[in-house]
A = this chain, B = another copy of it.
Amino acid sequence: MIESGQLVMLVSPKGKRYFRVLQTEDILNTNDGQLQMQNVVHQGYGAVVYTHLGRAYTVLKPTLYDLIKSVKRRTQIIYPKDIGYIIVKLGIGPGCRVIEAGCGSGALTTALAWFAGNSGQVYSFERREEFAALCRENLEKIGLESRVKIAGRDIAQGFGVKDADALFLDVRTPWEYLEHIPEALIPGAPMGFLLPTVNQVSTLLAAMQGGPFSSVEVLEIIVRRYKPVPERLRPEDRMVAHTGYLIFARLGAASGQDDGEPADFIFEQEKEYVEP
């Protein structure tokens, strides 16, 4: 038994994946014929259900990784390796209010919505209506659309959001929007950026020196995969070498103190702690 309202993944005999928020009366039209959601509800996770043409579909509870992999895309998406680190670094979790621009096809949007939960809120900005529509479609398919507000607003005029907990910019010229960050976030809030070239990283770092930003970090996440053969274990022959550089920082505190003492974000432990 799977409860109605749960998100399920239905895997075709050929490995094609369908995502569905379960409604007992629904019917899924697949390339292999019709699937009664009622059967899915009754059979439960791990079961095999059959289309009216007798094709076997496996019922699974999707992971976030499954969702990201299946994002219908017309843009380069942010990859799971980067998303995982971004989430931890930005402190995204249940109840979180987070700003993102642009949303592109919605891979990171999906992750932000997933983790923010029902009590959180994702503010997504995307100037190109085609991508905003695609992102919305991707979110609706998996039932996460209510957690995300997608706006077509040009962020050159600010984000129109206050006291957000975190921010991530996946745009070509993030330095043009730095000035609007302080008014959108709570003081000390974490932020991140993704940029493909070293020239952009350099330009962003220079712009950030104008403040108020602290704890600036630049890094890359690399995944090296192995062929999972126990008696001939070895790395894959080829790998993805680059998706982008990640830049993280913290909003330097607006002091609010009349003594003008600057808030200190240089964490002692930052130096002691070698984080791989």
Contacts and interface: CB of A to CB of B under 8 A. Distances in A.
Contact of A187 (B45, B62, B69, B265): B45
Given A87-B88, A198-B202, A263-B48, A225 B235 contact: no
A114 to B, nearest CB: 5
Nearest to A234: B197
Given A48-B261, A61-B165, A65-B89, A15 B268 contact: yes
**A-side interface mostly:** mixed
B239 A276 contact: yes
Nearest to A241: B239
A251 interface: yes
Interface band, chain A:
35 or more
A64 B84 CA distance: 12
A236 interface: yes
B233 A205 contact: yes
A60 interface: yes
Contacts of A202: 198-199, 230-231, 233
Contacts of A87: 64, 84, 87-88
Given A11-B267, A84-B86, 11 more contacts: A16-B269, A45-B189, A61-B188, A64-B93, A70-B269, A81-B221, A81-B275, A85-B85, A202-B233, A222-B276, A236-B242
